[in-house]
Amino acid sequence: METAARKKGLCVLLLFLLAICLPVRSFARENLQVGYVPGTGFLEEDRPGHMQGYGYEYMEFLSGFLGARFTYVPCINWWEAGAKLERGELDLLPAMPGYYKTLPFAQRTEHVIARFPMELVVQDDFAGGQLKIGTLDYNYPIPSLPKIAQEHGFTYELITFSDSTDMKNAFAKRAIDGYVQPLLHPEKKERVLALFDRVSYRLLIRPGAPELYTRVNEAQNELLLNQPNIRNRLNDKYGRAKGFPLVLTPAEKAYLQDKKVVHAAVFIRNKPYFYTDDDGSQAGATKALLEQIEKDLDIQIELTETSSSPEEIKRLLTRGTIDLVADVPGDFSWLDNNGLVPTQSYLDIGFVPITKHGAPLPETPRVAAVDGLFETVTFVRSRYPEEQILYCKSWEECCQAVSNGLADVAYVPRATVPYLLEATSAYNLSADTEQVFVSTICLGVAKGEDLRLWQILNKEINHLPPRLLSDALSQGSHEKAHLSPRYLLYHYPLQSALLIFLIMGGISGVIYYRSRSYNRKLTAMEKLACTDSQLQLPNIRYLEHNLDTLLPPGTATQADTTIFTAVFAVHPQDASRLYGRQLQEPLQETARQLAEKDWVLATAAGPVTGELVALCQADSPSKLLSFAAEFVTDLKSANPDYLWQAGLCPLTGKQLSAACEHAAQACQNAYNQRVHTLFWKPESEN
């Protein structure tokens, strides 16, 4: 048993070592030599080790289906490339233009790699007449050149070159008046007079390789089956993306000279496509497009104010008010019903759903849509039954309907979402990032307009600067922010809420501070008005204003004989002290002593110098008279230099002023009679 187990372990170890030591078989790819001529624009090395171009990307995609690896070999010119192909130094040669009669030995593939128009480049001061036109000896197909010469009013002599660099140098030195070549550099600064016959680029296979020829054809077929739009995509990337030259025929130029003014309307009137900014001027991507058309075609475009309603557009077209409409859907059938013919598209618009924050869509959602729009007819009505659709007049109303709960979802262009939500203050909405519907927009030319305008606008769209519309669309996000409450609430909701809280807190603080300061001033003024300036004691006004608080709770307001007013008057034995400040100290001391008495409710300075007024409470007048007499006696004993008298009067009906006058009169009577204290009696009782 132990021997068998040992053998089994040894076998496992040997298998493990074999798995480590034996090399892994890799997939071997055939290496093929591909020739190219630098500087032609089809396949080239723009910097060391980096290849680019229409032909390079096509060949790399083809290599994946062919199962081969390509090594790119530069050649001086096409003649050298053809010679290397014939000798077998090259396996494949793409991008050689012409009829290929110069290379009769080579085999051409069935599929075309690309097609490019021929261009006639002339000097900037071209004025017709006899021209020397350069051409390459690769046998370019230029059968339409005589027709071009007749249209533009010139005759020509062809000058043949073997190298494109020599031909362009001769043109730069003005040794020739123009040259013909495939349009591979659309961004050139030279003047392009005409575009005509298209030249086909095919792939050439070295002679004596039928198997390779079959494999390449099959690989091209697979490539086109899997990527049927590869040629269009590469053409857009390396051709249209750089902006095609604007080449107009003499008839088209004559039409523009006669037309001068084109009347247009804009279908999408929402930011960032077309809108009016804070300065009152028009802005947006569509405005930039129309301004570029005006500049390139040297015409004036007058915009007609209108709504985004198809009925309104149709009415203007019927009246002949407008010649074209910008930003219309690129759908021939829909525009045909509205009296328009679409040009090629210049922009794609993606639609996204707008819903409430965190609210799931019900099984049968209500959809807000603008009646008559292309996306409503094409997308919304095809997905939702008629009873679930709420028709609105604009995308703003659609957003408001979803915000107010009238609808559950709305579909709007993705680029307009921030501006729509900000304009409608619908901050409880959110937009999905995934597009659910894409519509291409174009220029719609009126059916009754001259066909040359439609042809010119198609050429102009090809000629547009590559980043014109994308830069214009993003311009809104880089605009100077106007810090309005709506802008802040939409773009910075949390910060805005904090700012509002801080502002309200600041306003409340200011109000509280001003109110407190005002109350302090009132208190200070009241204290000043209710304080005797000499004695620094409350005066009679203080007693009047605070009488309700000074009186005991439950005191009757009428005929209450338990509340009295007492006036204490001091007279110095020496009359010279009467007008000095000698009375201040005895009066202040007396007021302090009165405040300590249980029968005294409050003490104040009297209206006359040398008097004190006191509110008193006693069970009976006789008892108060006894208290007052005893107090006056004590004062006289403590300071014999002063004479004190007291006058008493009941406080009736809170008539404090009258009670004080009566008490002062009783005090004067006490002084005249040389007694300490007297009660006031009406004159009828005297």
**Higher-confidence position of 23 and 124:** 124
* Of the candidate ranges 137-141, 401-405, 607-611, 641-645, the one whose mean pLDDT is the lowest: 137-141
Axis-axis angle for helices 54-66, 210-226 (nearest 10)? 110
What does the alpha-carbon distance between residue 193 and residue 250 come to, in Å, rounded to a whole number?
10
Name residues whose C-beta falls within 8 Å of residue 241's C-beta, 6 or more positions apart in sequence: 466
* Of the candidate ranges 228-242, 282-296, 316-330, 595-609, the one whose mean pLDDT is the lowest: 228-242
Question: Is 657 within the bounds of a domain?
Answer: yes
Please report, to the nearest 10 degrees, the dihedral formed by the alpha carbons of residues 99, 104, 106, 110 taken in order. Answer: 50
Question: Is 574 within the bounds of a domain?
Answer: yes
pLDDT at 24: 41
SS3 for 377?
A: helix
**Higher-confidence position of 411 and 654:** 411
Whether the predicted pLDDT of 571 surpasses 50: yes
pLDDT in tens, 519-531: 988 888 888 888 8
442 in Cβ contact with 344 (< 8 Å): yes
Whether the predicted pLDDT of 229 surpasses 70: yes
Spatial CA neighbour of 609 closest among 590, 589, 584: 584
pLDDT at 508: 92
DSSP state of 583: T
Whether the predicted pLDDT of 216 surpasses 90: yes
pLDDT at 3: 56
Tokens 């007396």 sit at which residue? 590
pLDDT at 558: 43
pLDDT band at 1 (very low <50, low <70, confident <90, very high): very low
What does the alpha-carbon distance between residue 47 and residue 43 come to, in Å, rounded to a whole number?
12
Average pLDDT of span 84-96: 88
35 in Cβ contact with 92 (< 8 Å): yes
pLDDT at 300: 94
Question: Is 667 within the bounds of a domain?
Answer: yes
Whether the predicted pLDDT of 80 surpasses 80: yes
Question: Is 65 within the bounds of a domain?
Answer: no
**Higher-confidence position of 495 and 261:** 261
pLDDT at 428: 83
What does the alpha-carbon distance between residue 631 and residue 553 come to, in Å, rounded to a whole number?
26
Average pLDDT, the chain: 84
Q: How far is CA 647 from CA 603, 663, 680, in A?
A: 14, 5, 7
pLDDT at 27: 46
Please report, to the nearest 10 degrees, the dihedral formed by the alpha carbons of residues 630, 635, 636, 638 taken in order. Answer: 120
**CATH code for position 575:** 3.30.70.270
pLDDT at 123: 93
Residue 550 burial (10 A CB sphere; 0-12, 13-18, 19+): middle
Domain hosting residue 604, numbered range = 540-685
pLDDT in tens, 257-266: 999 999 999 9
Q: Which helix (H) or strand (E) holds 635?
A: helix 621-638
What tokens were used for 380?
């919304």
Question: Is 297 within the bounds of a domain?
Answer: no
DSSP for 256-315, please give it: HHHH-EEEEEES--STTTSEE-TTS-EESHHHHHHHHHHHHHT-EEEEPP--S-HHHHHH
Max avg pLDDT among 37-51, 56-70, 295-309: 56-70
pLDDT at 22: 43
Q: How far is CA 229 from CA 117, 182, 235, 244, 493, in A?
A: 19, 22, 10, 20, 45
Whether the predicted pLDDT of 393 surpasses 80: yes
Q: Which helix (H) or strand (E) holds 600?
A: strand 600-605
Whether the predicted pLDDT of 686 surpasses 60: no
pLDDT at 236: 79
Residue 119 burial (10 A CB sphere; 0-12, 13-18, 19+): buried
pLDDT band at 419 (very low <50, low <70, confident <90, very high): confident
Q: Nearest 5°: phi and psi at 20?
A: -80, -45
pLDDT band at 98 (very low <50, low <70, confident <90, very high): low
* Of the candidate ranges 360-374, 400-414, 484-498, 519-533, the one whose mean pLDDT is the lowest: 484-498
Axis-axis angle for helices 285-297, 451-463 (nearest 10)? 110
Whether the predicted pLDDT of 481 surpasses 90: no
**String of b and e for 308-344 (b: at least 16 CB within 10 Å)?**
bbbeebbebbeeeebbbbbbbbbbeebbeebbbbbbe
Question: Is 465 within the bounds of a domain?
Answer: no
% residues pLDDT > 90 (the chain): 34
What does the alpha-carbon distance between residue 253 and residue 198 come to, in Å, rounded to a whole number?
23
What does the alpha-carbon distance between residue 395 and residue 386 come to, in Å, rounded to a whole number?
19
Whether the predicted pLDDT of 482 surpasses 70: no
Spatial CA neighbour of 198 closest among 267, 119, 283: 119
Spatial CA neighbour of 69 closest among 109, 37, 27: 27
Average pLDDT of span 464-483: 69
Spatial CA neighbour of 566 closest among 585, 591, 536: 591
Question: Is 548 within the bounds of a domain?
Answer: yes
Name residues whose C-beta falls within 8 Å of residue 263's C-beta, 6 or more positions apart in sequence: 301, 302, 304, 321, 322, 323, 324
Please report, to the nearest 10 degrees, the dihedral formed by the alpha carbons of residues 54, 56, 58, 59 taken in order. Answer: 160
pLDDT at 446: 94
Whether the predicted pLDDT of 172 surpasses 80: yes
pLDDT in tens, 424-435: 877 788 888 888
Question: Is 444 within the bounds of a domain?
Answer: no
Polymer length in residues for the chain? 686
Tokens 């089994």 sit at which residue? 8
pLDDT at 2: 54
Peptide bond into 272 cis (omega under 30): yes
What does the alpha-carbon distance between residue 599 and residue 604 come to, in Å, rounded to a whole number?
15
Q: How many domains does the chain have?
A: 1
Lateral strand order in the sheet of 677-679: 600-605, 611-617, 563-572, 642-650, 677-679
Half-sphere exposure of 485 (CA within 13 A, CB side): 5
What does the alpha-carbon distance between residue 596 and residue 419 come to, in Å, rounded to a whole number?
78
pLDDT band at 587 (very low <50, low <70, confident <90, very high): confident
pLDDT at 552: 82
Tokens 């005294």 sit at which residue? 600
What does the alpha-carbon distance between residue 471 and residue 414 come to, in Å, rounded to a whole number?
16
pLDDT at 11: 59
Q: Which helix (H) or strand (E) holds 170?
A: helix 164-172
Name residues whose C-beta falls within 8 Å of residue 94's C-beta, 6 or more positions apart in sequence: 34, 36, 42, 43, 55, 58, 59, 113, 201, 202, 203, 204
pLDDT band at 12 (very low <50, low <70, confident <90, very high): low
% residues pLDDT > 70 (the chain): 88
